[in-house]
A and B are shown apart, each in its own frame.
Chain A
Amino acid sequence: DQQVKQNSPSLSVQEGRISILNCDYTNSMFDYFLWYKKYPAEGPTFLISISSIKDKNEDGRFTVFLNKSAKHLSLHIVPSQPGDSAVYFCAASGVETSGSRLTFGEGTQLTVNP
């Protein structure tokens, strides 16, 4: 039972344009959501997060939107840069499963073309 799903295995965009990565979840007990970025041969690194009491969080070029009623979140990258090319993982946690235990999606490979 995949509780966090990223339905797009890959996404390709032009440099300077917007990248939109999507994530859906099924567990209504999730109350904190995160995006991690992973380059080849490295561990994932934290990118941005959002609490369920908010619907938007912004950090520079990265914005995460949360739609609780639809159980959907998205990551917007504007403008996209070639260095953003990586695998992006959506993850979720809930108080009932301990604040640090994460459930990850499958990942989306983002390629930003110069």
Chain B
Amino acid sequence: NAGVTQTPKFQVLKTGQSMTLQCAQDMNHEYMSWYRQDPGMGLRLIHYSVGAGITDQGEVPNGYNVSRSTTEDFPLRLLSAAPSQTSVYFCASSYSSRGLYNEQFFGPGTRLTVL
């Protein structure tokens, strides 16, 4: 299993540009999520999905869109990039969103710089 994969690893955008961060998992996990990591702020939840066709907002959803058309993929879209979105983005997945906690597996991250 490749686990959770993210592309690209690095990206530089200009203000106002759009892009999609890709995330895929091959573990048939039900739950997927996107976090951003900023210095001194830990990991903050952007959006999450409890299954194909179902998404919801996390702590910091503004400026980001997501969709979940398949179990495997959970792309994160920036429609009009802003410097405040400069961050490291992590995708994570877990087997289920129900009941007791299920361990989350993280991808290697995408480092995004918005100029």
Contacts and interface: CB of A to CB of B under 8 A. Distances in A.
A69 interface: no
A93 B40 CA distance: 20
A39 to B, nearest CB: 10
Contacts of B41: 106
Interface residues of B, number: 30
A21 B35 CA distance: 23
Contact of B101 (A42, A45, A100, A106): A100
A46 B95 CA distance: 14
B104 A100 contact: yes
B108 A43 contact: yes
A46 B104 contact: yes
B101 to A, nearest CB: 4
A25 interface: no
A104 B44 contact: yes
A106 B40 contact: yes
Contacts of A101: 33, 45, 48, 58, 97
Contact of A46 (B96, B100, B103, B107): B103
Contact of B90 (A6, A34, A44, A49): A44
A43 B106 contact: yes
B103 A99 contact: no
**Most interface-central of A4, A46, A101 (chain B CB within 10 A):** A101
A39 B31 CA distance: 24
B115 interface: no
Interface of B: 4, 31, 33, 35, 40-45, 48, 50, 58, 90, 92, 94, 96-109
